[in-house]
Amino acid sequence: MKTISKLTENVEIILPENGLHQKIELSKKENRKLIIKLGFDPTAPDLHLGHAVVLKKLKQFQDLDHQIVILVGNFTAKIGDPTGKNKSRKPLSTEDVKHNAETYLNQLSKIIDIDKVKIVFNSEWLDKLSFTEVIQILSKVTVAQLMHRHDFNKRFTENTPIAMHELVYPILQGFDSVEIKADIEMGGTDQLFNCTMGRQLQETFNMDPQVVMCMPLLKGLDGKEKMSKSLNNTIGLTDTPNDMFGKTMSIPDSLIEEFLHLTTDFSIQEKETIKVSLVNGENPMNIKKTIAKNIIKQYHNNQEAEKAERFFVKQFQSKKFDLKSFKPVSISSIQHTNKSISLVELCSQLKKEQTKSAIRRLIESGAIKINNEKIQDPFSEIKLNKGLKIKIGKRDFYEINE
C-alpha cells in the first residue's frame, strides 16, 4: 500500500480508479515488469518544469524496476496534433522532428535514467500500415466517441472547421498503445481523451486495457495559463541557475503551493511543514527562495543553488546600484547619432521584445535609471559613454563599453 500511495501522489486522474493497484498485483503475479508509456510529439525542442511533473512520476516507476517506454511521435508530428484550441497544429518537417526529438531525449536524462529507457518511434509501425489496415483501425471508433473530446465538440458546435486528420490523430495515438502493449499510459490532464483511446483500441484487439494516469498541468509564471513555451511563461530544465531562481521568485503568491507540490522533491512531511509556516505568516518571498533552491538542486546542484540565491539578493534585493551585475553592450551595436540617443530609443534597442509605448510607460513611471539616476522624460538625450549604466525595470541591467 505504501508503494501505491507514493505512485498516486499528485496524480489528478487514474482510470479506472482501482486500475493501478490491479496492474501492480498483475506484475507480481506474472513476475514481469509493467510497460509504462509516455508519448510525445517533438513539436518544440525544450522541456520545462511542466513536463517534469510527468517525468518525475515516470522516475518513480523506473525506481521500482518497471519498463519505461518513451514513444516519439515522429509520424504523428508530421500530421499535426489538434491543439485543444480553435485550430489544428502546423505539421512539422522531417528535419524539425529529428532535431526536436534528439533535444528532448538529451534533456530526459536530467530526470530519468535514459540508459534503462526503451525509446521507440511510431513511424516504425504507422509507416508500414496499408490503407486497408488504416481503414480497419478507424472502423473501431465511432464519430460520436470522437465528439466526446471537448475541443472537437466545442469547435463542431461553433461551426469551426475540424480537419479529418485531426480526428484520426487520437486514434493513431491509441494504436501506439496496442503496438507496444502498454500497461499504463502517462500524460497531463489535457491528454485524457487520447490516452483513453488507447484503452478502447486495446480492448478491441482483445488486450488487457492500459491504465491511464494523468498528472495536473503546472501553471506558468503568469499564474493563469498552463506552462507553455509558446506563452513564454516557462522555467526550462536547461535554464541557468540564476534564471531558474529569478523566474521562480517572479511567480505570484497564489502559485506557491502548486509549485511546492509539483516542482520540488521535498518529502510529504517537509511540504506540510512549509505550508504550515506559510499559513502562520512566513514571508512568501522566503518560501519562494526555498522552492527555487530546491528546483536548482534537482537540475544542477546545491552549490549552484546557493550561488543563485546570493546573486538574486545582490542583483534584485540589495539597493547598492554599483554592485549589480551589468550586461555589457558595445556602443557599435546601438544605432545613434554623434554618440547621443533619446532614452526611449536606447531602451527600445536594448529591450527589442518590448514595444516603444511599453518602454515609454516604464520611463514615465520611474522604472528606468541611468547611472542610478531616475529619468522620467522619454526624450531625454543620453550620451553613450563607456561605463554608462542603465537599469530597465526590476531585472535588466546594462553597461556600455567600447
Q: At a CB cut-off of 8 Å and minimum separation 6, what does 76 contact? A: 41, 122, 126, 169, 172, 173
Q: At a CB cut-off of 8 Å and minimum separation 6, what does 364 contact? A: 376, 378
Q: Pairing state of beta strands 381-383 and 184-188?
A: unpaired
Picking from 287, 347, 45, the residue whose alpha carbon sits closest to that of residue 295 is 287
The three cell numbers locating residue 402:
567600447
Q: Give the side-chain half-sphere CA count within 13 A for 145.
A: 16
Q: How far is CA 203 from CA 30, 166, 209, 212, in A?
A: 20, 22, 6, 14
In contact, 73 and 173? CB cutoff 8 Å? yes
In contact, 126 and 172? CB cutoff 8 Å? yes
**Burial bucket for residue 294 (CB in 10 Å: 0-12, 13-18, 19+):** buried
With H, G, I as helix, E, B as strand and everything else as coil, classify residue 390: strand
**Average model confidence (pLDDT) across the chain:** 89
109-113, 167-171, 336-340, 371-375: least confidently modelled range: 336-340
Phi, psi (rounded to 5 degrees) for 213: -125, 115
List, for residues 180-231, the tens digit of each pLDDT value. Answer: 999 999 999 988 998 999 999 999 999 999 999 999 999 999 999 999 887 8
In contact, 100 and 42? CB cutoff 8 Å? yes
Q: At a CB cut-off of 8 Å and minimum separation 6, what does 79 contact? A: 91, 165, 168, 169, 172
List, for residues 60-99, the tens digit of each pLDDT value. Answer: 999 999 999 999 888 877 765 554 444 445 666 777 777 7
pLDDT at residue 91 in the model: 64
281-285, 300-304, 388-392: least confidently modelled range: 388-392
List, for residues 22-67, the tens digit of each pLDDT value. Answer: 999 999 999 999 999 999 877 766 889 999 999 999 999 999 999 9
